[in-house]
Amino acid sequence: MALETDFIVIGSGIAGLRASIELAKNGAKVSVLTKSKTSDSNTEWAQGGVAVVLSDDDNAELHEGDTLVAGAGLCDEKAVEILVTEGTKYIKQLIEWGTEFDREGGKLVFTKEAAHSRRRILHAHGDSTGKEIVRALVARARQEQAINLLPFSHAESFIVRDGRCVGVRYLDPILKAERDIFAKGVILCTGGAGQLYQHSTNPPVATGDGMAMSYFAGAEIADMEFVQFHPTALNLENAPRFLLSEAMRGEGAILRNAHGKRFMGDYDERLELAPRDIVSRSIVSEMRRTGTRTVFLDITEKSEEFLKHRFPKIYETCKYFDLNIAKDLLPVSPASHYTMGGVRTDLWGRTTIPGLYAAGEVTCTGVHGANRLASNSLLEGLVFGARAGKSAVVDSSEFRVQSLELKEENPKSKVQNPKSERIATAVSKRVKRVMWERVGIVRDAESMQRALSEFEQISQANLSKASRNFVTLALMVTKAALWREESRGGHFRSDFPERDKDWKVHSIQKQGEEISTSEKINFQKGAEA
The model's pLDDT over 90-107, given as tens digits with 9 standing for 90+, comes to 999 999 999 999 999 999
Strands, E assignment, 257-404: 295-298, 330-339, 342-344, 356-358, 363-364
The predicted structure's pLDDT at residue 423? 81
The predicted structure's pLDDT at residue 353? 97
- Domains of the chain and any CATH numbers: 3-224+340-395 (3.50.50.60), 231-337 (3.90.700.10), 418-498 (1.20.58.100)
Using alpha carbons, select from 464, 477, 365 the residue that is nearest to residue 419: 464
The predicted structure's pLDDT at residue 519? 92
The predicted structure's pLDDT at residue 411? 47
- Which band of pLDDT confidence, cut at 50, 70 and 90, is reported for residue 523? confident
Whether 276 is catalytic? yes
Residue 412: pLDDT over 60 = no
**Catalytic residue selected from 276, 310, 484, 493:** 276
Using alpha carbons, select from 69, 34, 307 the residue that is nearest to residue 173: 34
The predicted structure's pLDDT at residue 128? 82
| Angle 351-510-230 from CA coordinates, rounded to 5° | 75
CA pair distance 169, 179, nearest whole angstrom: 6
CA pair distance 252, 248, nearest whole angstrom: 7
- Which band of pLDDT confidence, cut at 50, 70 and 90, is reported for residue 407? low
CA pair distance 265, 6, nearest whole angstrom: 55
226-263: pLDDT as tens digits? 999 999 999 998 888 899 988 899 899 999 999 999 99
Mean pLDDT of 99-121: 90
Mean pLDDT of 40-45: 56
Using alpha carbons, select from 113, 106, 116, 137 the residue that is nearest to residue 127: 113
The predicted structure's pLDDT at residue 283? 97
Residue 409: pLDDT over 50 = no
274-311: pLDDT as tens digits? 888 899 999 999 999 999 999 999 999 999 999 999 99
CA pair distance 307, 202, nearest whole angstrom: 24
Residue 355: pLDDT over 70 = yes
The predicted structure's pLDDT at residue 35? 85
333-345: pLDDT as tens digits? 999 999 999 999 9
362-405: pLDDT as tens digits? 999 999 999 999 899 999 999 999 999 999 999 998 898 877 66
- Under 8 Å CB-to-CB from 497, ≥6 apart: which residues? 487
177-208: pLDDT as tens digits? 999 999 999 999 999 999 999 999 988 889 99
7-21: pLDDT as tens digits? 999 999 999 999 999
Quick check: 403 and 442 in contact, CB under 8 A? Answer: no
